[in-house]
Amino acid sequence: MQKIFHLIILFLLVTLISACDMQMNPEQQEIKVPIGPQMLQLESDIMTPEVLWSFGRIGEMDLSPDKTRLVYSLTYYSIEQNKGNTELYLLHIGTGETIQLTHTSGGEYNPRWRPDGKKIGFLSAKSGNMQLWEMNIDGSGRVQISFVKDGITGFEYAPDQSKILFTSEVKLKPTTQDIYPDLPLTTGRINSDLMYRHWDQWVDTYSHVFVADYTGSSISNPIDLMPDEAWETPLRPFGGMEQIRWAPDSKSVVYCSRKKEGKAYSFSTNADIYQYNLDDKTTTNLTEGMMGYDLAPVFSPDGNFMAWESMERDGYEADKIRLMVKEMKNGNITDYTTDFDQNVHGLQWSDDGSKIYFTSNHHALDQLYSLTIESGNIRKITDGVHSYTGLIPAGDQLLATRMSMSSPIEIFQVDEVSGKQTQLTFTNKATLDQLTMGKVEERWIETSDGKQMLTWVIYPPHFDPNKKYPALLYCQGGPQSTVSQFWSYRWNFQMMAANDYIIVAPNRRGLPGFGQEWNEQISGDYGGLNMRDYLSAIDELSQEPFIDEERLGAVGASYGGFSVFWLAGNHDGRFKAFIAHDGMFNLEAQYLETEEMWFVNWDLGGPYWEKDNPVVQWSYANSPHRFVQNWDTPIMVVHSELDYRIVASQGMQAFNAAVLRDIPAEYLYFPDENHWVLKPQNGILWQRRFFNWLDQWLL
């Protein structure tokens, strides 16, 4: 009876809301039943896929001009609705009080404080496409202030509040329907050059930056800073508003762009930083002659200096990321990281312009650092087993986002002098308090050539040293991306450990955080030392009395998927099960299928038809498809149709080869995912089939 009563009340409420729709203001009409926190009462203290997808995910954050409040985005996912929703929250730094500012089903993004601190700007798709809105700092008074035809993808206020810059997609090339208007229903695409698609999208439009006048309640007279040019800012596929900045005097805008088209674009990583002067409408290349990626510019508070992240070599996407500073008056450029054998990320100036703060990875831990400009001294601020992902200076404190293998991202306050770290948000505390996490252990293992390699070992919850457990060798992607203290919503080590597996995760050759020499070794040596590193790690760990060396598996994605395919033909009976996600299987096909030619040219040495190039010959001789005759172990293959970096046919080839050789195999295919699996129900299916496969062969 109680259930029926609740259903009747719900029906009456829905009827009342529908009847009143025409009398509600637009803000009220948008409030439906937004996806939000799920107050779960868990039946067990062991992680499940459903629990993993219930966690809130903190995103962008922006500090108020008076440095007392932080606005940030927080996303929750609904498995039933198979989608996520992002809301904005306000954190009072002094008290720790958190207030939810928005309560809609449409999502809010890109939060920014207006320079006077009286309003918060954000993007919302309530009106169809993404537009710029503003609200009071308590979340009331939502007003749409832009009506850009093709929508807005990002924005920033000018420091003097007179203008707003925004990015929008611009159509510059005719479609097939434009060329043949009598064929309006044709789906054909006409291409005559490379880079016709990138990562997971066809290149039909280009992101341009616009500057518009701002009255305090609306924008007008937008100017395209790159009119009629088939260039983009920010750069595909992952660039954001960190690549576009106002100068402190509001008289110019700097932006990052790779001003190349077609084949030239697909072979080059030479992205430069350009400055557009609003008065005379001229554009100046500030990094001309610097040949690699030049990204993420930030001005000193007085505008006299510009710092940015810079790679040296064109075509090498994993080059060392240096901290460069340019004196704007005389053009002098200083590299402050010549003796700092680490990458830098997320540069931020101190309020007085005397320091630059950043994150950097060392030995698989991302910590906060500071550079003192006058002395050139670099100091590590934080310690601990975790990884910081971003920061904002707030006087003598830093506000930063931090994660680990045992916790999703939360916001922390860090004292610059002492390094003391204080957690400010507790987004997932209620769920985490109900879970038992496995122990994460740091091990240093000797490689086949006598070097020391850091390897993370993650133990099952309630680990019993008297039991024998199956173990999984985790193969990292990239190939030059660190096995740091990361929290993943797919390759989650605690999720794997919760299924009673011990995880062995080596920082093999080719990963950053251990010096540039270690990072660079992998290029031109696929199938070489890094594969021996994997075998060194699993061979040593499998000797532990609590690991059953007869129940070993190997799993990985991207380059990790390549690694699994390669190990499948070269493991000498070590493994009893494999899982390869989005892996390269046939390197000759990969060279002609991928869209970012700079990657295969650098890492494989060039095209396979260069018979006199020893690096090329080594690379393609180590293509996994050349070792299929040795395959003898059950293998699961996962791939997605929208992955244009490593196309789906790579996975199909591997799966078909296994079946043709009568090897137990499974092919999990997603027609609507890219290089990742981002939809909730697809993600849960991925987890279920992942462990179904491993349990079948290892338990």
Bridge partners of residue 358, in order along the sequence: 369
Task: Decide the pairing of beta strands 272-277 and 201-202.
Answer: unpaired
Beta carbons within 10 angstroms of residue 177's beta carbon: 14
Compute the distance between CA of residue 439 and CA of residue 372 in angstroms, rounded to an integer. 37
Residue 62 among the catalytic residues: no
Q: Which residue among 294, 319, 366, 643 is the active-site one?
A: 643
Alpha helices in 587-643 (DSSP H): 587-593, 597-604, 614-621
**Annotated catalytic, 481?**
no
CA 638 – CA 369 distance, rounded (Å): 39
d(CA 433, CA 406): 12
How far apart CA 251 and CA 396 sit, in angstroms, is 29
CA 285 to chain centroid: 28
Nearest C-alpha neighbor of 195 from the set 232, 160, 145: 232
> DSSP letters along 16-57, please?
HHHHHGGGS-HHHHH-S----------SSSS--HHHHTTS-E
DSSP 323: E
Taking Cα atoms as reference points, which of 467, 473, 459 lies closest to residue 633?
Answer: 473
CA distance 120 to 102: 11
Q: Report the SS3 class of residue 457.
A: strand
The CA–CA distances, whole Å, from 292 to 295, 324, 327, 696 equal 10, 13, 20, 47
Q: Which of 404, 558, 619, 623 is catalytic?
A: 558
Give me the phi and psi of 220, to 5 degrees please.
-155, 165
First to last CA, the chain: 46
Query: Active site includes 448?
Result: no
Provide the CB-side half-sphere exposure for 522 (13 A, CA). 30
Distance between CA atoms of 19 and 70, rounded to whole angstroms?
A: 38
- Residue reference for tokens 């006409």: 190
Contact (Cβ atoms closer than 8 angstroms) between residue 513 and residue 364? yes
Does residue 599 sit in helix, strand or coil? helix
Radius of gyration of the chain (CA): 26
Three-state secondary-structure class, residue 646 = coil
Query: Which sequence positions are flagged as catalytic?
Result: 558, 643, 675
